[in-house]
Structures are given as C-alpha cells and as structure tokens.
Structure 1
Amino acid sequence: MRLYRLALAALIMLFASTALAADYYVDITNRTGYTIMYMYVSPAKSKSWEEDVLGNDVMRNGTTQRVNLRGYNSPIFDIRLKDEDGDTYTFWKVDVSRQDITVTLDDLD
C-alpha cells in the first residue's frame, strides 16, 4: 500500500508540473517606418535573450507578426526588436496573455 501511495504521489507531481506549463502568443505590429530585422522574446526572468524568432524573415513596416510561445510557466516576457539601422525597441515584463505590441518610434531605446 505504501508503494502505491508513493507512485500516486509521484504521478500527481508529474502532472502538476506539466500543468503549469502553458502556450501563449503575442501579436507584434511594426509601425516604426523601418524594417525590423531581429526579434527576441525571452521569459522576463531570463538573464539573456533567446534566439531571433524571425530567423531568415524580416518584418516590414505596417505588418504584424504572431509569435507563438509554447511550454512556458508564465505569460510575462521581455521583447526586443532591432531595425535595419541597428536601433532597438525593448518592452519589459509584457503580459502576453493580456497585451499585444505595436512598436513605434516612440518606443526607441
């Protein structure tokens, strides 16, 4: 009986930890007048930026890009965009479950 309880407890902990992970997305609209070359989205608690989510693509002015964020424990992310001139636009602690981003020149770092 004790072995059964231990196995059940382990199973509950496994499901509880995976239940915390969720999928999110954020729509980012470029209204800077410039082409966005790089887009980095990292969990707010991260100490470094994750890989460029645009890859080989770019984000032209006036377009919107959806970024899918799968398997994270929190909807709070930091977002950094870098345009064709090397200028950056950084958004700290964005709750992507409640907010999308429209980036303009007013957001220039």
Structure 2
Amino acid sequence: MKKFGLVFTAVLAMSPLAAWAGDQDFTLVNKTGYQIDEVYVATPSSKSWGKDIMGDGVLANGAKKNVKFKNSTTACNWQLAVKFSDGSDVEWDEPFDLCEVEVITLKYNKSTGITSAETK
C-alpha cells in the first residue's frame, strides 16, 4: 500500500441530540480496505498525539470502534491520525467538531491513492 494522501471530506448530517449533548464520543468506522493498528486523537493545541486509543487492539477493515471521552472533557475540536498495518499513516490537520459529529468513516480510494474521512 502506498503512503496515503490527505483529503478531508465532511458530510455533516447532525442530529439534534448531538448538537445539545456536548458529548465528544464518536464511532470510528474503517472502510479503507486495510487494517488500522493505531488511532490517535488530540486537540489542535496539543504538542503530541498522546497514547494510541486502540490499546492492544486493531481496527479491521469493515469494523468500527466506539471512542469514549471522559465526562470532564470540554474541547469539541479534535484532530485524528491513524497508522495502518503496513506502517503508512494519515493525519487530518483540519479538526473534527466531535460535539456535532457522531460517526467518522475512513475510506481509501485505490485509484487516486487518497484516504478520506466522512462525518455524520
């Protein structure tokens, strides 16, 4: 697999509950065709990505992971980075508003070599 290019594709279909909940929890869906070994989230002001939120697990193609935040978390904007089983990685510099986003679906287009993220 080639090193992925970056594209941020937002398809925002916000539910009323997401708008008022202020909750950053979201579901990450892997539709890239490849296994994801590591997932990182960080606020734009963070100096590092912190710990891999997958822990000892992986996210197989077609699988999803529910990502939970501590109740004391107040920041809504979060950046995302993933590392694939072949060592390639993708970082989204444009933050996701997790107070409004409930699902992030990652996709890879083999013909263009671009990894994208769709939100709803």
Do both share a fold (TM > 0.5)?
A: yes
If each structure's helix is expressed as a fraction of its own residues, which one has the higher value? 1
Structure number with higher relative contact order (C-alpha < 8 Å, ≥ 6 residues apart)? 2
Counterpart selection for 2:95 from 93, 96, 106: 93
Q: Secondary structure at the match of 1:50?
A: coil
1:35-54 equivalences under 5 Å are 35-54=35-54
Q: Which amino acid in the other structure matches residue 98 of structure 2?
A: V
Flag structure 1 segments of 5+ consecutive residues without an equivalent: 1-21
Superposed CA offset, 1:61-108 (max 9, x none):
001111111122211101101110112122231111212211111327
What is the number of residues matched between the two proteins? Answer: 87
Bigger radius of gyration among the two: 1
1:1-109 equivalences under 5 Å are 23-70=23-70, 71-91=72-92, 92-99=94-101, 100-105=103-108, 106-107=114-115
Report the TM-score, using the length of structure 1 for normalisation.
0.72
Q: Secondary structure at the match of 1:29?
A: strand
Supply the RMSD in Å over aligned alpha carbons. Answer: 1.6
Identity %: 28
Report the TM-score, using the length of structure 2 for normalisation.
0.66
Which consecutive segments of 4 or more residues in structure 1 shift more than 6 A?
A: none
